[in-house]
Structure 1
Amino acid sequence: MEVSGLVWALTIVGIAALLAFDFFFHVRKAHTPTLREAAIWSSIYVGLALIFGLGVLAFGGATMGSEYFAGYITEKALSVDNLFVFLIIMASFKVPRADQQKVLLFGIVFSLIARTAFIFVGVALINRFSALFYLFGLFLLFTAIKLLKPEGEGDGDEANNFIIRTAKKIFHTTDQYDGDKLFTIHNGKRALTPMLLVMVAIGGTDILFALDSIPAIFGLTQNVYIVFTATAFSLMGLRQLYFLVDGLLDRLIYLSYGLAAILGFIGVKLVMHALHENNLPFINGGEHVDIVEISTALSLSVIVGVLAVTVIASLLSPRGKAHNVISSARASAAHYLDHDYTEDPNERHRLYAVMLENEKVLRGLDAKFTDSADAELTELLDRAHAEHAAHR
């Protein structure tokens, strides 16, 4: 089905309007969203994505509809995985809690622009070189294998990358935030604030994320309208989702395995499609290979099934629960002690309450699941208790 220019224009205007609404009504004034606010708006954005998908199903037919939902679910799962890195970057730069929304919205807008560019470049290349499906498929298989490898100790320090180190050497920077300003006056000179540097870090990682996500969705559909809209709607509401699942992400200990399975499956699907469309002379004499292609319906079933098993297994895992509690206790205590993180009395009260609840759960866990709780965590919790007692 061909999508008219009018439909394209209305879609782009609608997405731009949602982003503008998000900025002017939620992000422009710095504040820390409540759990209720994050839950309501996350539900609204997911609801809008589902309604849009039903519209695609009604006007575009079953094939377009199933391609959209398969693409949306895959991209949403990948975007949730990206939140892990966003958490690390925020922690590395010690971004004040109230200003994190602005950084996230910038990341979403930048990611949408970067991925849109990748989409149109990808379409142009695919139309000229069908063999690109081989490269996309092999790249996804490589990414899947990489996800299965345990992370090294330095893998999480995404903020300490080459661009940031170079910026700090070339430009005058300061370690102090000045609200949400990108520039400030430091020692009588104009300086870059950490707010600008964290946005650069988020933007840089967004480009890396696009290298995984765009080949993945091209493995499900080559309809550029579906690729664009599924990608855009998967990013919408990511800011609210960050605050909703903050503290729960560590619980999804098997998410990387689930994503590896999905990317591996799509990688195989792309290679099979490439063989079916083959025109490379050194493969089957340049003739198409008579091979069964995986249907969109089967792809959607596999993606939903793998994610369901991954999430359920993670939530039911005793070690996953322990890992989540330890991480949450460490984060809540550290944030409570860091007055630059937040001075909001309500947020500090919430952090202390979360820490107390985590301590209570930790005492009831089997010792074999709490081996990662160390003396450093105990000392951190003791300091938080001492500060709370001193300010009562």
Structure 2
Amino acid sequence: MPELPLAFEIGTFVVLGLVLLFDLLLVVKRPHVPSMREAGLWVAFYVSLALIFAAIMFIFTGPEYGGQFVAGWVTEYSLSIDNLFVFIIIMARFSVPRKYQQEVLMVGIIIALILRGIFIALGAAVIENFSWVFYIFGAFLLYTAYKQAKDTGEDEEDAGDNKLVAKLRSVLPMSDHYDGGKVRTVVDGKKVFTPMLVVFVTIGLTDLLFAVDSIPAIFGLTQSAFIVFTANIFALMGLRQLYFLLGGLMTRLVYLKHALSVILAFIGVKLVLHAMHVNELPFINGGRHIEWAPEIPTFVSLAVIISTIVVAVVASLISSRGRSEKVDEDLAAAEAKARNSDLES
């Protein structure tokens, strides 16, 4: 990758950090349920920001690394949307008041950034010193793709029932009710934790699992730690607003998981081929590079990723399964509205 000025890299992280800080302060100072218009404008702003950055990468580093950023960003964005499905289940399972869901999502995004930063640093160091790790990354992604294809969603329904969360509830004094967005409150003169702590822990564990999947995936598209980290930041920015913008539409994307399975499998194969191309393991081809192993170009990876997602989204929206999910969502919303009307009367 052509050397970018250090000032550019530092400036990039400073600007992105300030944007995230502003977003966090906005959530803390004014907790609310954003309107569709507000959420849409924020999502458009973050997507535009990523596209502007991609254009800068194309201009200063050329099409190869510009394409790597776009491919990495689209892949991480798709995996992050999949992450939102789990967030929805967690919010519903713990009955988080909708007004404070923005705060929970923002904390989840910050945890995800920290965890991914650690994984990126470790991954970059390992790749630099041990080329054979691409075999492991490739095999892991192929296994993950297989699990994703077989997943029925039943495991996600029990996202809050893991042993660590249960242990947390049994050890720490905890109230039965939320106190706004607070983690601690006072009940009968005693300081206790609120269920919000359990929500944050569950979100954190979910982020950890997704980081384990997503980092090998993007290292299959680029070995530049700068591109990997910026692609992850841009993918996570605006995720909170996307949660409220998509709303019930997310339940209609019934084939998104299958699309992600195809993408992960494709990147897994790409990693194995790259590992063969740079092979140094003595028991494979006598420790020599396998020259006939093809290297999949970045533009091919980008085309496969984008076309797979587009096909999955279109198929989901026009399929009978997607329409039935929409009907179920509308019925649930109508029942909730009727219950609220009964309570008010």
Q: Return the TM-score normalized by structure 2.
A: 0.96
Q: Which residue of 2 aligns with 1:307?
A: 309
Which residue type is aligned with residue 209 of structure 1?
F
Cα shift at 1:26: 4.1
Query: Does the residue aligned with 2:107 lie in a helix, a strand or coil?
Result: helix
C-alpha distance 152-100 of structure 1, shift in aligned 2 (>3 A): closer
Q: Which residue of 2 aligns with 1:329?
A: 331
Kept in 2: contact 1:71–1:220 (CA 8 A): yes
> Structure 2 CA distance, aligned partners of 1:24 and 1:280?
50
> Structure 2 CA distance, aligned partners of 1:310 and 1:36?
26
> Structure 1 CA distance, aligned partners of 2:33 and 2:144?
35
Query: Does the residue aligned with 1:115 lie in a helix, a strand or coil?
Result: helix
Identity in percent = 49
> Structure 1 CA distance, aligned partners of 2:330 and 2:113?
30
> Structure 1 CA distance, aligned partners of 2:38 and 2:331?
23
Which residue type is aligned with residue 199 of structure 1?
F
Structure 1 residue 319 and structure 2 residue 321: aligned?
A: yes
Kept in 1: contact 2:27–2:103 (CA 8 A): no
Greater shift, 251-260 or 320-329, is seen at: 320-329
Query: Does the residue aligned with 1:185 lie in a helix, a strand or coil?
Result: strand
Q: Runs in 1 of length 4+ with deviation above 4 angstroms?
A: none
C-alpha distance 333-190 of structure 1, shift in aligned 2 (>3 A): farther
> Structure 1 CA distance, aligned partners of 2:125 and 2:36?
43
> Structure 1 CA distance, aligned partners of 2:19 and 2:204?
20
Query: Does the residue aligned with 2:121 lie in a helix, a strand or coil?
Result: helix
Unaligned residue ranges in structure 2 (runs of 5+): none
> Structure 1 CA distance, aligned partners of 2:90 and 2:198?
10
Which residue type is aligned with residue 296 of structure 2?
I
For each residue in 1:222-278, what CA deviation from the matched residue of structure 2 results, as whole angstroms up to 9, or x when unmatched? Answer: 011111111110000000000001111110111111000000000000000000000
Query: Does the residue aligned with 2:3 lie in a helix, a strand or coil?
Result: coil
Cα shift at 1:8: 2.2
For each residue in 1:109-142, what CA deviation from the matched residue of structure 2 results, as whole angstroms up to 9, or x when unmatched? Answer: 1111110110010000111111110010000000
Structure of greater relative contact order (alpha carbons < 8 Å, 6+ residues apart): 2
Q: Which residue of 2 aligns with 1:234?
A: 235
Q: Which residue of 2 aligns with 1:388?
A: 341
C-alpha distance 41-152 of structure 1, shift in aligned 2 (>3 A): closer
> Structure 2 CA distance, aligned partners of 1:100 and 1:142?
33
Determine which structure has more spread, i.e. the larger CA radius of gyration: 1
C-alpha distance 58-111 of structure 1, shift in aligned 2 (>3 A): same
Kept in 2: contact 1:28–1:102 (CA 8 A): no
Aligned length: 343
For each residue in 1:17-42, what CA deviation from the matched residue of structure 2 results, as whole angstroms up to 9, or x when unmatched? Answer: 01111122344221111111111111
Kept in 1: contact 2:89–2:156 (CA 8 A): no
Q: Return the TM-score normalized by structure 1.
A: 0.85
Kept in 1: contact 2:252–2:323 (CA 8 A): yes
Structure 1 residue 207 and structure 2 residue 208: aligned?
A: yes
Written as runs of structure 1 = structure 2, the 5 A alignment for 1:1-392 is 1-151=2-152, 153-290=154-291, 291-330=293-332, 332-333=333-334, 336=336, 352=337, 384=338, 388=341, 391=344
Cα shift at 1:389: 5.5
> Structure 2 CA distance, aligned partners of 1:100 and 1:169?
25
> Structure 2 CA distance, aligned partners of 1:86 and 1:266?
25
Cα shift at 1:391: 3.8
Query: Does the residue aligned with 1:156 lie in a helix, a strand or coil?
Result: helix
For each residue in 1:301-337, what CA deviation from the matched residue of structure 2 results, as whole angstroms up to 9, or x when unmatched? Answer: 000110111111101102211123203432x256x3x
Kept in 2: contact 1:114–1:210 (CA 8 A): yes
> Structure 2 CA distance, aligned partners of 1:88 and 1:249?
12
Cα shift at 1:186: 2.3
Which residue type is aligned with residue 167 of structure 2?
T
Kept in 1: contact 2:86–2:156 (CA 8 A): no
Kept in 2: contact 1:32–1:97 (CA 8 A): yes
> Structure 1 CA distance, aligned partners of 2:168 and 2:69?
40
